[in-house]
Amino acid sequence: MTPHVSPPSPPLSAASSVASDNEEEVYDLNVPFKQELMTRKSTTPYPQYLPTWEPVFFSPLQPFPFTDPALRADPLKRALLTPEAKMEPISPKMGTELTGVQLSSMTPQQRDELALLVSERKVVVLRDQDFADIGPASQTAIADHFGKKNYQPVTGSVPGYPGFHIIYRDGNRADIERYFEQKSTATIWHHDVSYERQPPGYVILCILQCPEVGGDTVVASMTEAYNRLSPGFRSMLDNLKATHSSERICTFARNNGGLCRKDPVKSLHPVVRVHPVTGEKALFVNDEWITGIHGWKQSETDWLLKYLMDHVSRGHDFQIRLQWKPKTVVIFDNRSTIHTATVDYDGVYEKERHMFRLATMAEKPIPVHCEKQ
Predicted pLDDT of residue 16:
30
Domain spans of the chain? 23-365
Are 359 and 200 in contact by the 8 Å Cβ rule? The answer is yes
Alpha-helical segments (H) within the chain: 108-121, 136-144, 173-182, 222-227, 231-237, 247-255, 298-313
Predicted pLDDT of residue 183:
78
Q: To which CATH superfamily is domain 23-365 assigned?
A: Clavaminate synthase-like (3.60.130.10)
Find the helix or strand (DSSP H, E) in which 139 lies: helix 136-144
Are 345 and 221 in contact by the 8 Å Cβ rule? The answer is no
The chain-wide mean pLDDT, for the chain, equals 89
Predicted pLDDT of residue 25:
53
**For the chain, what is the radius of gyration of the CA atoms?**
20
Predicted pLDDT of residue 206:
98
Ranges in the chain, pLDDT < 50: 1-2, 4-23, 372-373
Sheet (strand 337-341) strand order:
319-322, 217-221, 337-341
* pLDDT, tens digit, 9 for 90 and up, residues 334-364: 999 999 998 887 666 567 889 999 999 999 9
Beta-strand pair 96-99/123-126 = parallel
Distance CA(353)–CA(196), nearest Å, equals 27
Predicted pLDDT of residue 5:
40
**What is residue 289's three-state secondary structure?**
coil
Predicted pLDDT of residue 298:
96
* pLDDT, tens digit, 9 for 90 and up, residues 37-46: 676 678 899 9
Are 363 and 71 in contact by the 8 Å Cβ rule? The answer is no
Predicted pLDDT of residue 252:
85
Residue among 360, 287, 344, 328 nearest 90 (CA): 328
Predicted pLDDT of residue 3:
53
Tell me the pTM: 0.91
Size (the chain), residues:
373
Residue among 34, 362, 25 nearest 200 (CA): 362
DSSP track, 175-186: HHHHHHHH-S--
